Structure 1
Amino acid sequence: MNQNHHRKKDEKAQKSFRVSDLPLEERPRERMMKLGPEALSSQELLAIIISSGVAGMPATSLAQILISRYGSLADIADVSIDELKKGIKGIGIAKVARLKACFEIARRIENERINKIESINKGTKITSPDIAYHLIKKNLVSYKKEHFFVICLDSRNRILGIDEISTGTLESSIVHPRETFESAIKHHAAKIIIAHNHPSEDPMPSEDDIGITKRLREAGLIMGIEVIDHIVVCRNSFLSFKEKGLMP
């Protein structure tokens, strides 16, 4: 993508006002204190991390430029330090350091959660969908997006490990058999249970849920690793594909 294209996108994202020109109740930091971080947009959260702007371009505009240029928060997190330093006027070493530190903290928190799941649940025998649901529920219900997990089991249905495979809308392009069974192979699993949350709190499976289950089930038969259930997790309920007769 050429520099002229970036410049045009950046110019569209720029604002002439300062954050301090906004009414108090519309400023990102004040909104967070009043409503909590989950109420803020990605742009507002980035603006708080960036903290300050440059002449004619407040932190909210710099945040919008980042989103306009790179896309999602996950995409921004993957941008190298060197590219961030050189890519956008007003994003200097201090701002890059804060951004990369926040993204690294988020990555480590996620790894700690996964490690905690494994340390607590490893060796537990899954004898019913209800047990699987209650083991993984606490790690899924707080998410605002869909997260897809694989529970790896031995031949006696004991947990060998639990891995997160993807985050976002559950689509076949995101949940791929390669990543799913890479986890199973890593743990030497004989069987797997797949699970994901529905932030809507409606456990009924979508067409994508059903399609992905069929695709993974077929891939598992080829690889000799059986997909024995798909559990849709909500805060106060769940749906087991196996119990509902939905396993292909």
Structure 2
Amino acid sequence: MMKEVNHCIQQVATQERPRERLVLFGAEQLSNHELLAILIGSGTKKESVLDIATRLLNQFETLLNLKHATIEELQAIDGIGRVKAMYLLAAFELGRRSHLPNRLERTVVKHPDDAADYLMSDLAQLMQEHFVVLFLNVKNEIIHKQTIFIGSLNASIVHPREIFREAVKRSAASIICAHNHPSGNPTPSPEDIEVTKRIAEAGGIIGIDLLDHIIIGDYRYISMKGKGFF
């Protein structure tokens, strides 16, 4: 009887092992399941690490779904324990952070593109709507970012007082609101327009301008100010 150890990654030809292939050819030449296999690290007595990585991808179907998996969902996969699940979550988080602007240097917003670029990697692929506010100083530098709420946008939930309480606390001169559309289509809804007008009116009264409301879809956006919605 063939020993179960033959299933291990050590039995694969050297040039076919993910780690060796990464050294020889570079990470960009590896497939998704090979990169996952390196993160997972080792297989089991019954399966090679490549088999586990392939099954992991098949279970979640896409890297995007895998990126949003919880530690419990990852641990539910045979061969993925708590430590391996943490390695995967940490790797995806590092990848996300690598696309963030350098927070040591304050971002200056001169154009809607600047705000959209600042938020795109955070909001573009979220499965739920997130309403985020950027707080700016008199130089139009971003001094703070805060998620105000998570869920479907409507006027009864997004109240200007929550936004401007934080703006006053931060001594902000102006704000930019933003939220994502999980559908991928950034076209504003009637609720988006109503909420934006209320926030702009409240800001005008207390002297903290709403510079824009950015709606982010699937790596594209709409500036509600630029489109004349308020």
TM-score normalized by the length of structure 2: 0.58
Of 94, 111, 119, which aligns to 1:136? 119
Q: Which amino acid aligns with 2:212?
A: D
Distance (whole Å) between structure 2 residues aligned to residue 121 and residue 176 of structure 1: 31
What residue in structure 2 maps to residue 246 of structure 1? 229
The amino acid of 1:168's aligned partner reads G
- Which of 144, 150, 156 matches 1:161? 144
The whole-number CA distance in structure 2 between the counterparts of 1:208 and 1:200 is 16
1:155 & 1:120 partners in 2: Cα distance? 18
Q: CA deviation at 1:241?
A: 1.0
- Aligned-pair CA distance for 1:242: 1.4
Q: Secondary structure at the match of 1:120?
A: coil
Q: Is the 8 A contact 2:120 2:219 kept in 1?
A: no
Matches within 5 A, 1:1-248: 34-36=58-60, 120=103, 123-247=106-230
Instruction: Give CA deviations for 1:131-156 in whole Å, capped at 9, x if unaligned.
Output: 11011100101210110010111122
Normalized per residue, the structure richer in helix is 1
Aligned residue pairs, count: 158
Mapped to 1, the partners of 2:208 and 2:101 lie a distance apart of: 20
CA drift at 1:33: 6.9
| Residues 188/46 of structure 1: CA separation in 2 closer, same or farther (3 Å cut) | same
d(CA) in 1 for partners of 2:100 and 2:162? 19
- Contact kept? 1:118, 1:162, Cα under 8 Å: no
Deviation, structure 1 residue 39: 6.8
Aligned-pair distance for 1:183?
2.2
Counterparts in 2 of 1:125 and 1:35: CA distance versus 1, 3 Å: same
Contact 1:32 1:39 in 2 (8 A): no
- Unaligned ranges ≥5, structure 1: 1-30, 52-104
Q: CA deviation at 1:198?
A: 0.8
Distance 1:155 1:163 in 2: 18
3-state SS of 1:209 partner: helix
Q: TM-score, normalised by structure 1?
A: 0.54
Q: Alpha-carbon deviation of 1:235?
A: 2.5
User: Which structure's CA Rg is the greater one?
Assistant: 2
Relative to structure 2, which stretch is displaced further, 213-222 or 172-181? 172-181
Q: Once the 2 structures are TM-superposed, how far is the Cα of residue 171 of structure 1 from its aligned partner?
A: 1.0
Given that 1:171 and 1:208 are in contact with CA atoms closer than 8 Å, whether structure 2 keeps it comes out as yes
2:135 is matched by which residue type in structure 1?
C
